[in-house]
Amino acid sequence: RFFIGIPDAEVCILEEGEIFIRPSYFENGERKIGNPIIGKVAVTRFPAHHPGDIRVLTAVDYPSLHHYHDCIVFPTKGDRDHPSEMAGGDVDGDNFLVIWNQSIIPKQSHPPGVGSDSLNENELANFGDIIGEDTTKPVTINQIKEFLIQYLEWDQLGIISSTFIKHWDLEYGSGGSLSATCLRL
């Protein structure tokens, strides 16, 4: 089931590796709030290309979080936030697929792929680098337009995603998403 991700910024009770989910359901045409999910869950977001984009986390029940439902609450504690471990996600409106059916949760986990949190300051794209100008001065509307045009020209996620799916399908017998080509993409 898909849930929007939010941080545990109000209560700050969740520890690294924990999440909170309390889904609603319909019974006789009436919406009801269910009990929190407890136990191991698989969580991912799309597009998920790297095997590490699927995280196995522990769903827990804290009464202080019961006012949240139909969302996934992520901890604010830990070395790296869990949403960024899943294809560079965050909690600004991203939807996450949560699977709590124990028979389809992956038995083997992989380390997360490279996300924006693993890059240092010198590796991050910088507005000044892209427009080729000094950004210590106020930014103009024309600079913003140039930046957006270059961003749209360079945005290759759709092409990469389609290429990944093609190679995953072609190389399924030799590792699928763990094949060298798919990991490189």
- pLDDT (tens digit per residue) in 93-127: 889 999 999 999 988 888 887 544 444 444 334 44
3-state SS, residue 94: coil
**Residue whose token pair is 């399908």:** 169
* β 95-99/2-7 pair status: antiparallel
Query: How far apart (Å, rounded) are the C-alpha atoms in residues 13 and 112?
Result: 24
What are the tens digits of pLDDT across the range 137-146? 677 778 777 7
- Residue 73 DSSP class: E
Q: What is the pLDDT of residue 49?
A: 76
d(CA 58, CA 98): 11
* Number of Cα atoms under 13 Å in the Cβ half of residue 47: 13
Q: Is the pTM above the cut of 0.75?
A: no
R_g of the chain, CA atoms, integer Å:
20
Looking at residue 147, what is its pLDDT?
72
- Nearest CA to 65 out of 89, 35, 43, 95 is that of 35
**Could you give phi then psi for residue 31, rounded to 5 degrees?**
-80, 130
- Contact criterion met (CB below 8 Å) for 151 and 173: no
